[in-house]
Structure 1
Amino acid sequence: MTAPIFQVCAASPAVTALLGAGPTRIFPHGEAPEGTAKPYAVWQVVSGSPFNYLNCVPSTDRYGLQIDVYAETASSADEVVTAMRRVIGQHAYITGFGIDGKDKDTHSYRKGFDVAWLVSL
């Protein structure tokens, strides 16, 4: 199992209005295919652990995700982050805010946030 970030975001009209549908430009492993239209989002698992119990096997895993948005403008990056936070916040916990600036490698505006997502097994 893994956190259902793509499924949740791809089902949101607010997110797909910004990141498209079929395909929705949200990619795992922190990387988007070369030439992907902006804006787009990438995500990766940066931490995780099962909820362990003494008397039974874990029934829930906790995933720590890092989400980064790349866009042509700072306002576009802000719009995508806002839409994603609103929908993800209904299913998981927003735990922090990360990068907010211009990426040296891509020359794109980059804005990020962190999420703790509990996934029942």
Structure 2
Amino acid sequence: MFPKVYRTIHTTAVAAIVDTRIGRQGEVSPTEQRPYITWQMVTGQPYENLSSAPGADFTTVQLDCYHATDAGAEQLAVAVRAALDSVLICNRVVLNRRDPDTKLYRVGMEADFIDQR
């Protein structure tokens, strides 16, 4: 139900771009040093069965990669995708645009985490 997002995506390649500026539910302020990543849970459901309590949860997480340049946002998204791919987490790009409020380039991705309880 609460996937280990930070631990999963905070690889050497990602840290080289954002350091530790990865925050849940907008914990990274738009005025924070750039670039940065925010994430939030989009959906979640337990793997239910009739004989016992659920043994795992399936959670879809949205990760938003913000950068001052379009090329930088893409580079960051590629690094995040590689981190997710390395631990076999299915992911997809769902958003690629310039944010009207911050004027930063943003690549949004969804990732499907399956976590044992």
TM-score range, shorter chain: over 0.9
Residue 98 (structure 1) shift: 1.6
TM-score, length-normalised on structure 1? 0.90
Offset at residue 56 of structure 1 (A): 1.0
Tell me the CA shift for residue 30 of structure 1.
3.6
Per-residue displacement from partner, 1:6-62 (whole Å, max 9, x unpaired)?
Answer: 01222x111111111xxx111101442242111101000010000001111111001
Q: Which residue of 2 aligns with 1:49?
A: 45
Q: Which residue of 2 aligns with 1:26?
A: 22
Aligned residues between the structures: 116
Contact 2:61 2:112 in 1 (8 A): yes
Confirm or deny that 1:15 pairs with 2:14.
yes
Query: Counterpart amino acid of 1:38?
Result: R
Residue in 1 aligned with 2:2? 2
TM-score of the superposition, structure 2-length normalised? 0.92
One-letter amino acid of the counterpart of residue 66, structure 1: Q
Match of 2:62 in 1: 66
Question: Helix, strand or coil: the match of 1:77?
Answer: helix
The SS at the match of 1:7 is: helix
Indicate the percent of aligned positions where both proteins have the same amino acid: 28
Structure 2, unpaired ranges of 5+: none
Alignment of 1:93 with 2:103, yes or no, is: no
How big is the alpha-carbon RMSD for the aligned residues of Structure 1 and Structure 2? 1.3
How far off its partner does 1:114 sit? 0.5
**CA–CA distance in structure 2, aligned partners of residues 115 and 105 of structure 1:** 25
